[in-house]
Structure 1
Amino acid sequence: MSELQDGVAIVTGGSTGIGAATAKRFADEGASVVVADVNVEDGEDTVAEIVDAGGEATFVEVDVTDPAEVEAMVETAVDTYGGLDFAVNNAGIEGENEPTSDQPLDNWEQVIDVNLKGVFVGMQAEIDAMLEDGGGAIVNMSSIAGQVGFPNLTPYVASKHGVIGLTKTASLEYSEAGVRVNAICPGVIETPMVEATDQASIEQTIAATPIGRLGEPSEIGDAAVWLCSEEASFVTGESLVIDGGYVSQ
């Protein structure tokens, strides 16, 4: 993926898990990376790992629900590295586990704000920068919960379905201008969010996954970087499911 060399990427939620793996993969391919997150300590650690390995990276503390902070994040990429070529809108939260009628409204609002509004606000700022730079590629992180329902996770499922809708619409609007927009729908990946789940639930998920294991963050990061590369130049508006066969059953 030589075309990624000297490119500039933003990864939100880049401190740990899928985001950190994606940021490192961009750096491995020669891109300069803005690692953006509310998690400062882990974000700075991710940047340090990239720099120690010979890559270029900068950390930006950002609340993806705040348009001013998101604009500042994009400005950091442009001012520090000269433009913006790639963006992975990965920041997200799961929220509380409750049946629909028992879901607290404040939980609904927080999950929708981070997972859906955060992607929308991110795309607005990123697309503007990419249009000024002649084009680019965006990957939005949805989920298998954007493909099917999951009991007791109404806000999360709604937000991840919404990410797919945003992705398809933006892809139609900006393809001719040279900006491709795709989504990834990961299955259950071995991340801090999943590790906080009780072991019985994890084992149940593994048993329900045809491949028979959890996914690795690097497997999602590899796909995100591929979608941003010229190898995926004819791919836009797609929602790529990477789940070990979970939703194929």
Structure 2
Amino acid sequence: MSDRTALVTGGTGGLGAPVTTHLLERGWRVVVPWLVRDELSRLPEHPNLHLVQADLDDEAQLEAAIAVATADPSAPLFGVVNLVGGFTSGQRVHEAPIAVLDSQLNLNLRTAYSVTQAALTHLIRGGGGSVICMSAAATRRPFPGAAPYIASKAAVVALVETLALEYIEDHIRVNALMPFVIDTPGNRAAMPDSDRRNWAQPSSIARVVEFLLSEDG
């Protein structure tokens, strides 16, 4: 896979770092936009890793990240892995300000939409590709107190299903992953007393991501 590039948003996070590391180990050229400098220590030094400081909400900075992802003609952009996201819970709908919904839609839906939109022309020109977005099992098994989060993740599923139909003739596959709670340091800190036996392991998700990006996917 050394002749292909994957753009991994959120690639320095608790899930993103294992995904990025796994793709590098499998021979991918990986481009990771980043904002939090302290998170860079989670990633290994690697000749195929290209880090771009970028706020993906800013159109110019997003285009700069896409430019790096498409800069190597010997390794064209093929994979787009949208891992940027956020979680909130604890308030029922009548208690949660509308700003909470806006924030969740921005983190979980708008970023995936805008990054995918920016990459699609390049994937089409290259003859195809694979796009992966993060949804959640809660969209099928909701729980109280997280309506903004669950609604935003359900919107991701609708987006993915539509993209898959729109771009099938362009040989672009689009999939959503729908894990339960992911076993990251952040989730462990937020839920210290939880039973983690059924939590999804980042290493397992990384292998699924790599499978979906591959020809076997």
Tell me the TM-score normalised to structure 1 length.
0.81
Q: 1:64 and 1:144, CA in 2 relative to 1: closer, same or farther beyond 3 A?
A: farther
Partner of 1:33: 30
The alpha carbon displacement at 1:147 in A equals 2.3
Report what 1:8 is aligned to.
5
CA distance in 2, matches of 1:70, 1:97: 32
Task: Say which SS state the counterpart of residue 181 (structure 1) adopts.
Answer: strand
C-alpha displacement at 1:62, in angstroms?
A: 2.8
Counterparts in 2 of 1:149-228, with a 5 A limit? Answer: 149-200=142-193, 202-203=194-195, 206=196, 212-228=197-213
Aligned-residue sequence identity (percent) comes to 30
Q: How many residues align?
A: 216
* Paired AA for residue 41 in structure 2: D
Q: Distance in 2 between matches of 1:150 and 1:225?
A: 30
Which structure dedicates a bigger proportion of its chain to helix?
A: 1
Change (3 A) 1:80 1:146: farther
- Give 1:223-234 correspondences, 5 Å limit: 223-232=208-217
* Cα 1:153–1:64 shift into 2, 3 Å: farther
2:78 alignment partner in structure 1: 85
What is the distance in 1 between the residues matched to 2:180 and 2:96?
23
Alignment match of 1:146 (pick from 127, 136, 139):
139
Residue aligning to 1:235? none
Give the Cα–Cα distance (whole angstroms) in 2 for the partners of residues 155 and 38 of structure 1: 24
After superposition, the Cα gap between the structure-2 partners of 1:60 and 1:105, relative to the gap in structure 1 and judged at 3 Å, is: same
CA distance in 2, matches of 1:63, 1:96: 25
Aligned partner (choices 81, 98, 116) of residue 109 of structure 2: 116
**In the alignment, is the contact (CA less than 8 A) between 1:16 and 1:192 conserved in 2?**
no
> 1-side partners of 2:191 and 2:15: how far apart?
20
Note the residue ranges of structure 2 that are not aligned, 5 or more in a row: none
**Counterpart position of 1:103:** 96
Asked if 1:45 is matched to 2:41, the reply is yes
